[in-house]
Chains A and B, each alone.
Chain A
């Protein structure tokens, strides 16, 4: 177990290093950071001064060693846009994003399980058709449109909920619901098909033949076996959200999360802020994957810690 964790942490570290290196290469070699960060009107002298201030006039290998060293010291440089340490900006926004993602995906997970299980009880039955139909509709609706629809319904027509910013739990409702819709639909369809598959397996028949109550067989046996694919997809939804999938919701509801700040940093050519964001997201994604592997191992004894 400890060996497994150590191995996965080293692997994760390598992934993060790779991501960092890619960011470095893309920004220093394929683009010119000075051009990105200074206004068009800057004079050649100003450019040269800025470049030497940041160490951008030195050879690339030296730059990379310096860059990696700064990262190790958790120094991500100054945000040129906000005029303060880039990591400070990121750490300020990160909790907002995690709150939104936690609420949205939590909602999707909690609702998709019963919906999928109910649908699987009678394939082709009324309930199954309703659940499947709604899921497909949910999947096909553009997120910004859903967001606007919810605003019109629950803030304009029935003035019930705030539409932008954050501050109270009520502010979280519409963004979380909007974010939840697509993952909910995908997870529900998966639970449904996985449960149908499991319920048709012989071990379910024997569990019932042993006289175990239906509900116990459903949850303790079938659902448990459907859990690995479910967690895989849920983990994927989480990674997707962390990787910036929340940006549409953040924009529509003016939610001050990381997605929004990432877009703004890109637009303003705030290289150091972009780097810090990418770095933090990469670390989070690596951690999510390690956590998932551990959970898989807990759920299924056949999975080795390889």
Chain B
């Protein structure tokens, strides 16, 4: 978890120029993922988590554009590595496994296509390797699965297939964007367990995007909390969960069931995130923050915390009086 980060993003800015105006989806986002580390990005829907991941992968949907900052892979910009970092050294899995595979091709054909693109494998060898990969993601009867079509398989199985497909590239980093959101709770747990097993076995780095702090607690080493296209707090998971400094983090934690606090009443944060078309001046959270004050009308400077940083003028103060944490 020490040493040079695999992926580092500095001051990333992404905009979507639309008819209605410029949507500022990602603003000054910085993060780093080291080998063997799992970094979580957490935040409400629309906070810019997926767009950040898409920018890293070079897969921004139109009309999205990176307008600032830099994205480095092992210390160098992507161009300096030539083609084949994205999709080879970085693989990813997405939210909806049912929609993420070509419906007209068998699982095997898609795995073989990927394998053969990345390694000069013969047809037979690629097929054998595909079956191995399916076994590695704990699918039963892998050889039979190869000949099945996506519509013949369940979401949980397909997400395992997606993981096998990601492994086919022999990646160093896996970006998982809400990998379990579309799945049943029991299947969710299985997929997450699989993800953390693969990470241990292969020393993978993982960038895990989720809106669920429970998943972060179970899987991540570090976490970045995003709000309205900005990172508002980062830290090591244990420290951040024990002493959340940002009122938004505190609010998210208050709304998350934990083992000890399952019976407590859960309260979500009142209000909705601001529109990114016309972001409010100053701290973006101040419109929903119970302790917002005068200084919050200007954007706070990042301040160091125990294990990370926080962007809040009143960091560390208890924002939500009703349930002290």
Do the beta carbons of B92 and A209 come within 8 Å of each other?
Answer: yes
Does B81 interact with chain A (Cβ within 8 Å)? no
Residues of chain A in range 184-229 having any CB-CB distance to chain B below 8 Å: 200-203, 205-213, 220-221, 224-225
Does B104 interact with chain A (Cβ within 8 Å)? yes
Do the beta carbons of B151 and A209 come within 8 Å of each other?
Answer: no
Do the beta carbons of B149 and A302 come within 8 Å of each other?
Answer: yes
Residue of B nearest to A207 (CB): B102
CA distance A203 to B149 in the complex (A): 14
Chain A residues with Cβ below 8 Å from B162 are 206
Does A299 interact with chain B (Cβ within 8 Å)? yes
Do the beta carbons of A209 and B87 come within 8 Å of each other?
Answer: yes
Does A44 interact with chain B (Cβ within 8 Å)? no
Known interface pairs A209-B87, A302-B149, A302-B151; A203-B100 also in contact (CB < 8 Å): yes
Do the beta carbons of B102 and A221 come within 8 Å of each other?
Answer: yes
Does A301 interact with chain B (Cβ within 8 Å)? yes
Residues of chain B in range 66-111 having any CB-CB distance to chain A below 8 Å: 84, 86-88, 91-92, 94, 96, 99-106
> Which of A200, A203, A208 is within 8 Å of B101, CB to CB?
A203
Do the beta carbons of A225 and B87 come within 8 Å of each other?
Answer: no
Chain A residues with Cβ below 8 Å from B117 are 210-213
Chain B residues with Cβ below 8 Å from A207 are 102
Residue of A nearest to B93 (CB): A206
> Which of B91, B99, B149 is within 8 Å of A210, CB to CB?
B91
Do the beta carbons of A202 and B100 come within 8 Å of each other?
Answer: yes
CA distance A262 to B27 in the complex (A): 70
Task: Produce 1/0 per residue, B97-137, CB < 8 A to A.
Answer: 00111111110000001100110000000000000000000
Known interface pairs A202-B99, A212-B87; A300-B114 also in contact (CB < 8 Å): no
B68–chain A nearest beta-carbon distance, Å = 23
Does B165 interact with chain A (Cβ within 8 Å)? yes
> Which of A200, A206, A299 is within 8 Å of B104, CB to CB?
A299
Residue of B nearest to A220 (CB): B113
> Which of B88, B100, B106, B118 is within 8 Å of A206, CB to CB?
B100
CA distance A224 to B105 in the complex (A): 10
Does B169 interact with chain A (Cβ within 8 Å)? yes
Q: Which of B62, B106, B149 has the largest count of A CB atoms less than 10 A from its CB?
A: B62
Residue of A nearest to B151 (CB): A302
> Which of A201, A209, A220 is within 8 Å of B91, CB to CB?
A209
Known interface pairs A205-B94, A302-B149; A210-B165 also in contact (CB < 8 Å): yes
Do the beta carbons of B104 and A225 come within 8 Å of each other?
Answer: yes
Total number of residue pairs linking A and B with CB closer than 8 Å: 70
CA distance A302 to B117 in the complex (A): 27
Residues of chain B in range 160-203 having any CB-CB distance to chain A below 8 Å: 162, 165, 168-169
Q: Which of B62, B102, B117 has the largest count of A CB atoms less than 10 A from its CB?
A: B102
Task: Produce 1/0 per residue, A282-306, CB < 8 A to B.
Answer: 0000000000000000011110000
CA distance A206 to B50 in the complex (A): 14
B183–chain A nearest beta-carbon distance, Å = 15
A173–chain B nearest beta-carbon distance, Å = 37
> Which of B84, B87, B103, B168 is within 8 Å of A302, CB to CB?
B103
Known interface pairs A205-B94, A302-B149; A211-B84 also in contact (CB < 8 Å): yes
> Which of A123, A205, A224, A301 is within 8 Å of B149, CB to CB?
A301
Do the beta carbons of A212 and B114 come within 8 Å of each other?
Answer: yes
Chain B residues with Cβ below 8 Å from A220 are 113
Do the beta carbons of A301 and B84 come within 8 Å of each other?
Answer: no
CA distance A206 to B59 in the complex (A): 10
A-B pairs, top 9 by smallest CB distance, nearest first, are A211-B87, A202-B99, A206-B100, A210-B114, A203-B102, A301-B149, A209-B92, A202-B100, A211-B88
Contact sample, A vs B, 14 pairs, CB 8 Å cutoff: A201-B99, A202-B100, A203-B101, A205-B94, A206-B101, A209-B87, A209-B92, A209-B94, A210-B168, A211-B114, A211-B169, A212-B87, A300-B103, A302-B149
Give 19 new A-B contacts, CB below 8 A, not counting A202-B96, A210-B87: A202-B100, A203-B100, A203-B101, A206-B92, A206-B165, A208-B59, A209-B92, A210-B165, A211-B87, A211-B117, A211-B169, A212-B113, A221-B105, A224-B104, A225-B102, A299-B104, A301-B149, A301-B151, A302-B149
Q: Which residues of B contact A (CB under 8 A)?
A: 57, 59, 61-62, 84, 86-88, 91-92, 94, 96, 99-106, 113-114, 117-118, 149, 151, 162, 165, 168-169
